Amino acid sequence: MCFGQWGRDSYGSRVRGTGGGTRGVGTGCGYDKPEKMAGRALLFAGPPSTGKTALALGISQELGSKVPFCPMVGSEVYSTEVKKTEVLMENFRRAIGLRIKENKEVYEGEVTELSPEEAESTTGIYDALIKEKVAVGDVIYIEANSGAVKRVGRCDAFATEFDLEAEEYVPIPKGEVHKKKEIVQDVTLHDLDAANARPQGGQDILSLMGQMMKPRKTEITEKLRQEINKVVNRYIDEGVAELVPGVLFIDEVHMLDIECFSYLNRALESSLAPIVIFATNRGICNVRGTDMTSPHGIPVDLLDRLVIIRTETYGPTEMIQILAIRAQVEELEIDEESLAYLGEIGQRASLRHSIQRLSPASIVAKTNGRDKICKADIEEVSSLYLDAKTSAKLLQEQQERYLT
């Protein structure tokens, strides 16, 4: 995969495209076709603040909305209620998609009037209309068998009227209102597990999906998953469904323990496996739950299955580029000299630290009656806030003044 574009990450920044080399996934990973990589695992290993998490978020952008991307942090597996392996299994299944094509009998068209009438057989449709927030002027379809309602978008005749809204405008469907239609749906195996843990209503996927918003009542058991796998495999064999392996991202992987690691070894070999990306900033350390040490705190047998990608500290030019984009996203004005100075700070401390100085610097600039951040503002911020390394150094120098 080639990160040719800038994507927005969850920090509100934008992920800078890394075209190749060690700072980035590089080319030649065959990422353009996730299905070929299914069951394979990568490890991003590098010092803190070298863009591992940012890279994973960039990957999720690149994959788009149709390919599942499930991010988690190693420590999430420790819950008092759910088994560690159960958390992992659930996330595995969140990262495997299924594209289902179904030919369905539907009623499709633009809603011109909504007036409820009492009748015995169609009670579910009214609820479904409310749930989908259907209004007059929307294009919808109702499944003939199950009564499930899907709002396709707003009729394009209204496009100019509400042009400020983030709406999807669609043309009025052609032909008869009552017809057969091919419906493509993207669901994850976990969606199917969750929906089937509370079977009620119709048996088709849409009506199962419709129940998903309700709180979970029944546990998802291993037996249920096996049943689902059977149905999924049958769908795939029949050509009704297509498997879309996505990406499971496990950040801070050194937080997992030996049980999780041995479970992962097995899970990666199953026929329904996503691509798994691990990330860690640890060097040689203890494998949790054992007294052995291993590179990155990962047992050697799992390490052996991984393709390891090293992330390296960004150079000054790259840091300045990232800082400039970050300032642009946060709508802050900053001059060249300040960017270079922040780049310098980044080299000394970390990129994360210099990014964090941007917004306080802009407040200082505003207090001084300026819109644009200049070097003096950053110097002022630097005198107020310390980075981890400077703080540790001070602590060492003034050790006698602290309690131990």
Ligand X SMILES: Nc1ncnc2c1ncn2[C@@H]1O[C@H](COP(=O)(O)OP(=O)(O)OP(=O)(O)O)[C@@H](O)[C@H]1O
The phi and psi torsions of 39 (rounded to 5 degrees) equal 80, -5
Residue from 1, 77, 355, 364 that binds ligand X (CB under 6 A)? 355
Residue 13 partner contact from ligand X, Mg ion, none using kind-dependent CB cut-offs of 5 to 8 Å: ligand X
- Contact between 343 and ligand X per CB under 6 A: no
CB of 251 to Mg ion, least distance (A): 5
- Contact between 146 and ligand X per CB under 6 A: no
CB of 55 to Mg ion, least distance (A): 9
Radius of gyration of the chain (CA): 26
CB of 395 to ligand X, least distance (A): 20
The phi and psi torsions of 20 (rounded to 5 degrees) equal 170, -170
Nearest-CB residue for Mg ion:
53
CB of 280 to Mg ion, least distance (A): 9
Contact 285, 292 (CB under 8 A): no
In the complex with Mg ion, which residue's Cβ is closer, 9 or 193? 9
Residue from 40, 52, 225, 296 that binds ligand X (CB under 6 A)? 52
Place of tokens 């070999």: 269
- Contact between 351 and ligand X per CB under 6 A: yes
Nearest-CB residue for ligand X:
51
Residue from 60, 281, 338, 362 that binds ligand X (CB under 6 A)? 281
Coil, helix or strand at residue 247: strand
- Contact between 50 and ligand X per CB under 6 A: yes
Token representation of residue 365:
């600039």
- Contact between 16 and ligand X per CB under 6 A: yes
- Contact between 342 and ligand X per CB under 6 A: no
CB of 53 to Mg ion, least distance (A): 3
Contact 263, 126 (CB under 8 A): no
In the complex with ligand X, which residue's Cβ is closer, 53 or 294? 53
CB of 252 to Mg ion, least distance (A): 7
CB of 363 to Mg ion, least distance (A): 26
Closest alpha carbon to 348 in 390, 304, 400, 306: 390
CB of 96 to Mg ion, least distance (A): 24
Token representation of residue 73:
């942090």
- Contact between 53 and Mg ion per CB under 5 A: yes
CB of 5 to ligand X, least distance (A): 11
DSSP-assigned beta bridge partners for residue 250: 72, 278
**Window of 46-54, 174-182, 363-371, 394-402 that interacts with ligand X by CB under 6 A:** 46-54
- Contact between 11 and ligand X per CB under 6 A: yes
Residue 11 partner contact from ligand X, Mg ion, none using kind-dependent CB cut-offs of 5 to 8 Å: ligand X
- Contact between 354 and ligand X per CB under 6 A: no
CA dihedral 355, 357, 359, 360 (to 10 degrees): 170
CA–CA distances in Å: residue 56 to residues 10, 63, 72, 329, 373:
11, 11, 11, 19, 31
Distance of CA 401 to the CA centre of its chain: 45
In the complex with ligand X, which residue's Cβ is closer, 66 or 310? 310
Closest alpha carbon to 13 in 368, 344, 322: 322
One DSSP character per residue, 144-164 reads TTT--EEEEEEEGGGTTTTTT
**Window of 14-22, 46-54, 223-231, 298-306 that interacts with Mg ion by CB under 5 A:** 46-54
Residue 382 partner contact from ligand X, Mg ion, none using kind-dependent CB cut-offs of 5 to 8 Å: none
- Contact between 9 and ligand X per CB under 6 A: yes
Token representation of residue 286:
């203890």
Cα torsion 291, 292, 297, 300: sign: negative
373-380 long-range contacts, Cβ below 8 Å, gap at least 24?
Answer: 373/327, 373/332, 373/333, 373/334, 373/335, 373/338, 374/335, 374/337, 374/338, 375/335, 375/337, 375/338, 375/341, 377/338, 378/338, 378/341, 378/342, 378/345, 379/341
- Contact between 352 and ligand X per CB under 6 A: yes
- Contact between 322 and ligand X per CB under 6 A: yes
**Sites of contact with ligand X (CB under 6 A):** 9, 11, 13-16, 18, 48-54, 281, 311, 322, 351-352, 355
**Sites of contact with Mg ion (CB under 5 A):** 53
